[in-house]
Chain A
Amino acid sequence: MATMTPGVLASFTQVDAATDAIRALKAQGRTDLTVYTPAPNHEIEEVLDHPVSPVRLFTLVGGLTGCAAGFAMTFWMSDNWPLLVGGKPIATVPPYVVLGFELMILLGALSTVAGVIIMSVVNARKRVPFSEKFTDDQIGVFVPCRAEEAADIENLFKRAGSVEVTHAA
């Protein structure tokens, strides 16, 4: 079994207790925190102050690629197999807008999901301790640290209002 990252994991039942602890840790210059919540929480997001997720770039690139692919496919295929009806143009924009639009949505959506997966894996901190309570009703904060720093961090968590503190070594 892979060893866990050494550090201290604290559980909170009160959101302001967790935000107090995060603020205090950030004031000490500790930014490599992992915070678990059962649902997204604006107070936690605010105090962590992460930059906006780059997933939007995946959406944009996927959507534009899909739209371009939709028009390219329809124009090329119309030209490759010309259907001549009543002197009308072989390839024309208005009916192909539907295909361009649908493929824009399709590739935009699929690349968004790919973006979420890729970014979650790329940015993931490996072997971080976790408790099943964090998907239920508790907030978890993990700080990687050396063994000699653990006691100070434990005290910080307890002062903030943590209900449980465990050490990972």
Chain B
Amino acid sequence: MAHAYVPAQTHAEVTRDVVATLGAPSRGYVMMLAGAVGLFLVGLFTFVMLLKDGLGLAGYSPPVMWSVYITTFVFWVGIGHAGTLISAILFLFRSQWRTAVYRATEAMTVFAVMTAGLFPIIHIGRQWVFYWLLPYPNQRYLWPNFKSPLLWDVFAISTYLTVSTTFLVVGLVPDIAAVRDQVSGWRKKLYGACSLGWTGSDNQWRHYTRGYLYLAALATPLVLSVHSVVSWDFAMSIIPGWHGTIFAPYFVAGAIYSGIGMVFTLLIPLRKILRVEHMIVDYHFDNLAKLTLFVGSILFYAYAMEYFVAWYSGSTYEQVTFWRRAFGPMWWAGWSMIICNAFVSQLLWFRKIRTNLTALFVISIFINIGMWFERYVIIVSSLSNDYEPWAWGQLNPTWADWGILAGSFGWFGMYFLLFARTFPIIAIQEIKETIPFPRKRGGH
């Protein structure tokens, strides 16, 4: 099919349509932003109460000292992964269908990792000394323990946030210049300052395209490493249900799966609100859905393997942990995870579902819920039922857990929506790159 990834547009139409997304906001946009700000304020209030009263306000009780906050941390880190997969890995594979959707997914990555980064800080209790996590010269000559996976995580997440932000900003520069040349007044001055003097000269493109290629090449192993490192927060311990060599690839697949779920949740309403339905079309959603099916199937296999390994290991502790995940007090969470992730993704074998946006939106909500529950099950069920039955206990989440969780969606949504109105949410120059210039000798 000729240029299916560029639905019949010219270079000028691409500029015009993307610049139009930065015009006056629609009512739908304002309502969504108001909702996000409302949720953020709920989170902010909860955080202030946590500062005032301490972590006792959340449902922390032995033996479950990692609970909703760490669950949500892993959830948001995972969300980021689909963005880098689409923007960097598919760039290296020269998958041109990604051009219409990659900017939105990359922005999603940056804001998701920004959101995730808040949770370890909230979780440590004394948030004002979070910088103790970093190796800095201090008067007691102390350095952190670099053998701890928790410290690997500090480096992995901060590197991921820096590199993905850099990648997003570098990709934006030529597009901001295109906007600068279409607007007037103070907006021209603002976009002019942000475009760093970009003109699209051969000299600039020569260095830019090389630099962008190397950034993609660096971001690719990074994205695979980050969730592997997050998985080692668990797998390096000896807790039953955590101590598995499968964890790194299992977490990476889960992260990409959850991220694509969030891409659907964001893009399906956003394309309507920003009136870019003609640029992000069924073809893109079909491809995203195929990707979801692929990683969802890997996840299905990983779930099956987890149970198989627990049984085959002969370890009573492992076997009991997994028995309790399916039939213990947290059976509802265990089955939510399996149904929402392993089974719901299999619906995407059908093309009719892959191109039905209502169905995809509903499936994406299942994916979001299922992937949050996956982390909840892994973390809480394993800590609830350690080696010693007399030390077993259940988690009782409180309003402070749910308040921070809701606030994180508001914080993320707020930044994402503001970004979508301020900067081109569809990559202008990359789409133009896929549209052939007219020729005087005809043809393309």
A-side residues, CB < 8 A to B, are: 13-17, 33-41, 44-45, 48, 50, 52-53, 55-56, 59, 63, 73-74, 77-78, 80-81, 83, 92, 95-96, 98-99, 101-103, 105-106, 108-110, 112-113, 115-117, 119-120, 123-125, 128, 130, 132-137, 139, 161
Q: Is A35's CB under 8 angstroms from B155's CB?
A: no
A-B pairs with the 10 shortest C-beta distances? A132-B181, A137-B11, A116-B211, A15-B437, A77-B143, A39-B432, A53-B210, A39-B433, A137-B12, A35-B202
Q: Which residues of B contact A132 (CB under 8 A)?
A: 181-182
B279 part of interface (Cβ distance < 8 Å): no
Q: Is B163's CB under 8 angstroms from A116's CB?
A: no
How far, in whole Å, are A83 and B430 apart by their CA atoms in the complex?
51
| Given A128-B201, A135-B178, also A109-B162 (CB < 8 A) | yes
The number of inter-chain residue pairs (CB within 8 angstroms) is: 186
Q: Is B162's CB under 8 angstroms from A106's CB?
A: yes
B-side residues, CB < 8 A to A, are: 10-12, 15, 135, 141-147, 152, 155-156, 159, 162-163, 166-167, 170, 174, 177-178, 180-182, 196, 198-211, 214-215, 218-219, 221-222, 225, 229, 428-430, 432-433, 436-441
How far, in whole Å, are A110 and B214 apart by their CA atoms in the complex?
11
Q: Is B202's CB under 8 angstroms from A48's CB?
A: yes
Output the nearest chain A residue to B195 by Cβ-Cβ distance: A135
- The contact of A120 among B147, B159, B203, by CB within 8 Å, is B203
Q: Which residues of B contact A63 (CB under 8 A)?
A: 218
Q: Is B440's CB under 8 angstroms from A14's CB?
A: yes
| Given A14-B439, A77-B143, also A102-B182 (CB < 8 A) | no
- The contact of A55 among B156, B182, B210, B440, by CB within 8 Å, is B210
Q: Is B181's CB under 8 angstroms from A77's CB?
A: no
Output the nearest chain A residue to B155 by Cβ-Cβ distance: A102
Q: Is A120's CB under 8 angstroms from B200's CB?
A: no
- Within the complex, what minimum Cβ distance (angstroms) separates A157 from chain B? 13
Output the nearest chain B residue to A95 by Cβ-Cβ distance: B147
| Given A50-B206, A123-B203, A137-B11, also A106-B146 (CB < 8 A) | no
| Given A98-B156, A135-B178, also A59-B433 (CB < 8 A) | no
